Homo-oligomer: A and B are copies of this chain.
């Protein structure tokens, strides 16, 4: 509960129409795209500019009120679930594209801009913003930066972090910092820009960002390679990279995912094979042609039963869009969809896929796997029913084993979804006690009162079950 006098102050700052503590209003923001987590905020506050953000933060810091910054809430780690109450800080008004700078190849935005809107705006100028999280139709740039979102083009182009040049942010004490600039090189001080990227709103509240753009690739081409042998499919991924080709996209979909996506999207995906690689290359035409041909050869050499090149740009676009709907497609099948993103070095993909299937069998679970194979970022997805307690317990154990296996193979517990609440109990497995202590020291230094997205990233307790065996 926000005290009456504080509520009044907050309403004065943002206007009464931007302060909502009705039950219905709060309920809407009590959860995000992550299943299994729900918690009511005390109020939902929508500032209109950074000065309002500053004022709100100062009040919250004084009165120890948690602040949960939120774009569209499309994250999959319960990163915007207000588990300690407080206010959800909604960026719906701060959604302007402030500048597209064609000389310096940058775009400057407010955090509430929808990712795809920004991508379309820069593409109109012949420029390209590569990070493309599957949620980009609804996600916001602020959310992407806070989660350091990846996407389908990560293999060749990197992730959100690689495109953030400058940030403006409000610290827990209400002061504003500006990091970086429209600069390809800047080593003036610690890399605060990248410290904030991926910090999940626990270190500061973003109010503006300048992102790097690159020239639009001249052309692109898409193909599918079909497999009856999952290991051969995974091996192909390693072989393509080892042959010194870096495709723009190199996605893996197993049969359950293919069937679900086809039933959802109806675009003629093969459903009678065990796995498919969806491959895209972009760049100058000659290079794209040559790479696609070479990759087709590599696929065939590794026992692909068929290789199909998309017939038209529209067909290619339909394939990529279908891939982006994988989560939605799978989510239709059962009441609860738990999508994870254990990530391994790409040389270990085959082992990881085999391990996931073994773990699913061991626990009697329905786990489909798809994901960004080229960068080792897999999305094992469990279809379950949250009302079935026994099943949910098995799901938890299975995912703990999957995380453990990923770490064993030199991987990580999350490639692009973030830690949030969902993965916090496993973070120490990856970073060790010392790594967590370093992070805590930084958190305490910047947010001593723990008002910024509390309960995220840092677990009350590390999961010891599997690691202790």
A interface, CB within 8 angstroms of B: 101-105, 126, 147-148, 150, 154-155, 158-159, 161-162, 171, 175-179, 181-192, 194-195, 197-199, 203, 214-216, 238, 241-242, 244-246, 283-284, 286-287, 290, 343-347, 372, 374-377, 410-419, 423, 427, 430-432, 434-439, 441-442, 444-446, 457
Q: Which residues of B contact A415 (CB under 8 A)?
A: 183-187
Q: Which residues of B contact A159 (CB under 8 A)?
A: 184-185
With A103-B347, A438-B171, A441-B445: A188-B410 Cβ-Cβ less than 8 Å: no
CA distance A372 to B184 in the complex (A): 10
Q: Tell me, rounded to whole Å, the shortest Cβ–Cβ distance linking A307 to chain B.
A: 22
A182 B103 Cβ-Cβ under 8 A: no
A179 B435 Cβ-Cβ under 8 A: yes
Contact partner of A199 (CB less than 8 A), chosen from B175, B190, B446, B457, is: B190
B183 A412 Cβ-Cβ under 8 A: yes
With A103-B242, A284-B286: A192-B375 Cβ-Cβ less than 8 Å: no
Contact partner of A241 (CB less than 8 A), chosen from B103, B423, B434, is: B103
A104 B345 Cβ-Cβ under 8 A: yes
10 A–B contact pairs at CB < 8 A? A148-B191, A177-B432, A177-B435, A178-B435, A181-B410, A187-B412, A188-B414, A189-B435, A190-B198, A190-B457
With A244-B126, A343-B183: A419-B377 Cβ-Cβ less than 8 Å: no
CA distance A177 to B435 in the complex (A): 6
With A244-B215, A346-B104: A187-B183 Cβ-Cβ less than 8 Å: no
Q: Tell me, rounded to whole Å, the shortest Cβ–Cβ distance linking A413 to chain B.
A: 5
A147 B347 Cβ-Cβ under 8 A: no
Q: Tell me, rounded to whole Å, the shortest Cβ–Cβ distance linking A329 to chain B.
A: 22
Q: Tell me, rounded to whole Å, the shortest Cβ–Cβ distance linking A207 to chain B.
A: 14
Question: Which residue of the partner chain B has the closest CB to A192?
Answer: B438
Q: Which residues of B contact A185 (CB under 8 A)?
A: 150, 154, 159, 343, 372, 375-377, 415-416
CA distance A103 to B181 in the complex (A): 35
Closest 5 CB pairs of A and B: A184-B375, A185-B415, A215-B244, A441-B445, A103-B347
